[in-house]
Amino acid sequence: GQQVMQIPQYQHVQEGEDFTTYCNSSTTLSNIQWYKQRPGGHPVFLIQLVKSGEVKKQKRLTFQFGEAKKNSSLHITATQTTDVGTYFCAYNTDKLIFGTGTRLQVFP
Amino acid sequence: SAVISQKPSRDICQRGTSLTIQCQVDSQVTMMFWYRQQPGQSLTLIATANQGSEATYESGFVIDKFPISRPNLTFSTLTVSNMSPEDSSIYLCSVDLAGTNYGYTFGSGTRLTVV
B105 and A CB contact within 8 Å: yes
pLDDT digits 0-9 by tens, A62-104: 999 999 999 999 999 999 999 999 999 999 988 999 999 999 9
- What count of other Cβ atoms lies within 10 Å of the Cβ of residue B115? 9
Enumerate the residues of chain B whose CB falls inside 8 A of the CB of residue A39. Answer: none
CA distance A103 to B86: 23
Q: Band the pLDDT of B34: cuts 50, 70, 90.
A: very high
Name the residue among B42, B101, B108 with its Cβ closest to that of A88: B42
Nearest chain B CA: its distance from A100 CA (Å)? 5
pLDDT mean over B45-49: 97
B104-106 and B110-114 as β-strands: parallel, antiparallel, unpaired? unpaired
Query: Does the beta-carbon distance from B104 to A96 stay under 8 Å?
Result: yes
| Residue B101 reports pLDDT greater than 70 | no
DSSP string of B61-115, one letter each residue: --TTTS-EEEEETTEEEEEE-S--GGG-EEEEEEEE-TTSSS-EEE---EEEEE-
Beta strands in chain A (DSSP E): 5-7, 10-14, 19-24, 32-37, 44-49, 55-58, 61-65, 71-76, 85-92, 96-98, 102-107
pLDDT digits 0-9 by tens, B1-13: 679 999 999 999 9
Contact indicator for A87, A72 with CB cutoff of 8 Å: no
Enumerate the residues of chain B whose CB falls inside 8 A of the CB of residue A88. Answer: 42-43
| Residue B112 reports pLDDT greater than 80 | yes
Contact indicator for A36, A44 with CB cutoff of 8 Å: yes
pLDDT value at residue B52: 83
pLDDT digits 0-9 by tens, A21-64: 999 999 999 999 999 999 999 999 999 999 999 999 999 999 99
Name the residue among B33, B41, B108 with its Cβ closest to that of A95: B33
| Residue B26 reports pLDDT greater than 80 | yes
Residue of A nearest to B99 (CA): A48
CA distance B68 to B62: 10
| Residue B97 reports pLDDT greater than 90 | no
Q: Band the pLDDT of B100: cuts 50, 70, 90.
A: low
| Alpha-carbon distances, residue A86 vs B21, B104, B109 (angstroms) | 24, 16, 16
**SS3 of B77-90:** EEEECCCCHHHCEE
Task: Single out the residue of A45, A19, A18 nearest to residue A34, CA to CA.
Answer: A45
Q: Band the pLDDT of A2: cuts 50, 70, 90.
A: low
Query: Does the beta-carbon distance from B104 to A99 stay under 8 Å?
Result: no
Enumerate the residues of chain B whose CB falls inside 8 A of the CB of residue A102. Answer: none
B101 and A CB contact within 8 Å: yes
What proportion of chain B, given as a percentage, has pLDDT over 90?
84
pLDDT mean over B19-40: 95
Nearest chain A CA: its distance from B35 CA (Å)? 10
Nearest chain B CA: its distance from A56 CA (Å)? 14
- Rounded to the nearest angstrom, the gap between the alpha carbon of residue B20 and the centroid of all alpha carbons in its chain is 9
Which neighbouring-strand residues pair with A108? none
Q: What average pLDDT is seen over chain B? A: 94
Enumerate the residues of chain B whose CB falls inside 8 A of the CB of residue A43. Answer: 43, 92, 104, 106
pLDDT value at residue B99: 56
Angle at A40 between CA A46 and CA B6, to 5 degrees: 80
Residue of A nearest to B45 (CA): A97
